[in-house]
A and B are shown apart, each in its own frame.
Chain A
Amino acid sequence: MSNGTGGKFAGFEREPAVRVFASELRESRIQFKEGEDEKSPSYVLLPTGERCNRIFLCGQMTLKEKRGEQNKFYTVRVQDPTGTFFINAGSYQPDAMQQIARIEPPVYVAVLGKPGIRTTADSSVFVSVRAESVTEIDLETYRCWVLDCAQQTLDRLDSFDQTDDSRKAKEFYNTNTAIYRQIIHDALTQIDIQ
């Protein structure tokens, strides 16, 4: 992606929010840091070949749970046409926590957040999103997002094996682009637009 090197120097440049479907995010396994600094941004490498420090997703909030004794945090599940996103927000994300507190499932929500990969005790891998904001939206916005996400995923597939990130992704994930085209196709045919 073009902002890879630019972002390194222009420290003030905000990381764009990559659009990704749940079924693709779930398959991500590589998380890396650019630079040695403690505050250097951390990226997740998506199977379709783009790094993301921040993602933007929409879907139906199906479950909301408050957990923790002293340090309360919310876990939320958001369903898109391809699968489920696991979202969390703790006391370091006070804005997102308050926003989640006002929302009752099932409703459509838009989530902005930072993806993270962790390995659980039984060595299974879990991909979740630390929310920066969670807000209720309408069905129309959800449909717009599905189109947007489909378009941007297709753009990534079209330039697959042509960018540094996607060559890396090809090496690590051995991505089958035909499967992703199928997923996008299925997602698009699930929504109705008059």
Chain B
Amino acid sequence: METIPHVVERISQKIEAKGVTVDREKVRSKLTLLVEEFGIQIQEAERTVTNELMREHNLSTPAGSGQEQRPIGDITPGDWVTVEGKIVSVAQPPAGAIAQSGIIADSSGAVQFVVWAKARAPTLKERTWYRLEAAVVDEYRGAPNLKVHSGTKVTELPEDRPLMPNVAPIASLKPGVGSIRAKFVEEWEPRHDRMLQTGLLGDESGRIKFVLWKDGEREKLELNRVYSFYYATVDEFNGRLSLNLSTAMYIPEEGDIRVSTGSDAIQGAFVHMAPGSGLVKRCPVEGCNRVLSRQNYCPVHEIQSSFRYDLRIKGVIDDGKKARNVLMQCETVEQLAAMSLEQAIEIAENNPLGLDDVLIQLQHRVMGRYFRCIGSDIDGTFLVRECRPVQCDAPLHASLINRAAASPGGDAA
């Protein structure tokens, strides 16, 4: 679920982009009313509030007959437009009401499109140029989306024009369609049966999560290799972007590029050890790696007779202002708690308390202590790459004494 503050921010930014100042409190109360009092879905409420504000500030744009031809890069939600572009990707339509969906591009940019079944339009062919007259641009999940409806005139263009995608830095991607040149820097275990591959792509400007779905015959990416990705779909959820490669073309490139480390540092007290910490058993099935229950049950592959041990800590590091979920993997835990995976296995297998004893010992070594961690935040969990205990800092001690003594006999406030 997307949260209200986040949607408020998105609406406000959209209106502010048109040069009007927005009272966020007002946006929030309108949105809260619709969502909490009337039980309207948040996406629908977002649309309603946005349209209302547009009208209020005379920004309503569904103007013009849509006869005027526009570059795809310039169109915005609310427009009626005529565009000429190349179909660079078509996807399986997700619902019966939709005949076709995909991406259309010209040299100025690219946009996702939907052809309604009711439009009775000809089937659009991949890698072919079309002129779409009087199509409507609306918004779907925060990105512009071109709708081909029954009033839209679709004409196939005979010639193939040169088209070069605009490759952009990762940091500048916005919801919609994007092309990047990036390195495949981290591979994660897919969490869904339909997922072929997932992980992180990086360039000099930043890193982004990607997903490659199994539908269609797609080739897997090779780790640590640089690729050009053309026309990937950029999705947004809770303020984070991710790249869906199912619509994209990708071409391996020669050479290497420097990748932003995407590192962050957090410091605070370790205040909570979450369930699932300690010595865990993982499913041995190739590519699964899920954590087994204590009865060796894998949620996908059911009962397993063998397994692979792993050591990890899921917990919370709290700096007094913010509590952050952290995940520490085997290497970090071994170093932090001075307990190797072998020692943990030894404890678990030769002790009546078994796995619980490992947990108790880990708790004893990390709970309540101060750590400084380096890593990156992924979907609300801080993945720790490096972690170190915080030492008492004599200069800090001295400066705090000075601060406390700063206003002797007087009231600073």
Chain A residues with CB under 8 Å of chain B are 2-3, 5-6, 9-10, 13-19, 56, 58, 99, 109-112, 132-133, 135-137, 140-141, 143-145, 147-148, 150-152, 154, 157-158, 160-161, 170, 176-178, 181-182, 184-185, 188-189, 191, 193-194
Contact = CB atoms under 8 A, between A and B. Distances in A.
Contacts of B404: 150, 154, 181-182, 184-185, 188
Contacts of B272: 112, 132-133
Interface string B351-367: 00000000000011001
Contacts of B397: 147, 188, 191, 193
B320 A6 contact: no
B370 interface: yes
A193 B329 CA distance: 32
A160 B412 CA distance: 9
Contact of A154 (B5, B368, B391, B403): B403
B41 interface: no
B367 A135 contact: yes
A158 to B, nearest CB: 7
A56 B269 CA distance: 9
B368 A10 contact: no
18 contacts: A3-B321, A9-B5, A10-B5, A14-B316, A17-B323, A110-B369, A133-B368, A144-B370, A145-B370, A147-B397, A148-B370, A157-B412, A160-B412, A160-B413, A181-B405, A185-B401, A185-B404, A191-B397
A110 B270 CA distance: 10
A156 to B, nearest CB: 10
Contacts of B403: 154
Interface residues of B, number: 39
Contact of B392 (A16, A112, A143): A143
CB-based closest 6 A-B pairs: A110-B368, A185-B404, A135-B367, A14-B323, A184-B404, A160-B413
A182 B403 CA distance: 11
Interface string B304-323: 00000000000010111111
Contacts of B407: 178, 181
B400 A110 contact: no
B406 interface: yes
Nearest to A144: B370
A3 B322 contact: yes
Nearest to B393: A147
Q: By CB atoms of chain A within 10 A, which of B269, B323, B401 has the most?
A: B269
Contact of A147 (B271, B396, B411): B396
A58 B393 CA distance: 17
A161 B172 CA distance: 40
A44 B124 CA distance: 63
Contacts of A13: 323
A194 B318 CA distance: 26
Contact of B391 (A14, A111, A140, A161): A140
B394 interface: yes
Q: By CB atoms of chain A within 10 A, which of B4, B272, B370 has the most?
A: B370
Nearest to B365: A135
Contact of A148 (B269, B405, B412, B413): B269
Given A16-B320, A147-B392, A185-B404, A58 B368 contact: yes
Given A17-B320, A189-B401, 17 more contacts: A9-B4, A17-B269, A18-B320, A135-B367, A140-B391, A140-B392, A144-B392, A145-B269, A150-B404, A151-B400, A154-B400, A176-B411, A178-B407, A178-B412, A181-B406, A184-B400, A194-B394
A145 B4 CA distance: 36
Contacts of B413: 157, 160-161, 170, 177
Contacts of A176: 411
B334 to A, nearest CB: 20
Contacts of B271: 17, 56, 112, 133
B410 A6 contact: no
Contacts of A152: 320
Contact of A158 (B394, B401, B412): B412
Interface string B247-289: 0000000000000000000000101100000000000000000
B390 interface: yes
Nearest to A139: B392
B94 interface: no
B3 A10 contact: yes
B323 A135 contact: no
A99 B367 CA distance: 11
Contacts of B316: 14
A112 B368 CA distance: 8
B340 to A, nearest CB: 22
B216 interface: no
Contacts of B394: 193-194
Given A154-B404, A188-B397, A56 B363 contact: no
Given A148-B370, A157-B413, A178-B407, A9 B3 contact: yes
Contacts of A188: 397, 400-401, 404
B409 interface: yes
A125 to B, nearest CB: 25
Contacts of B5: 5-6, 9-10
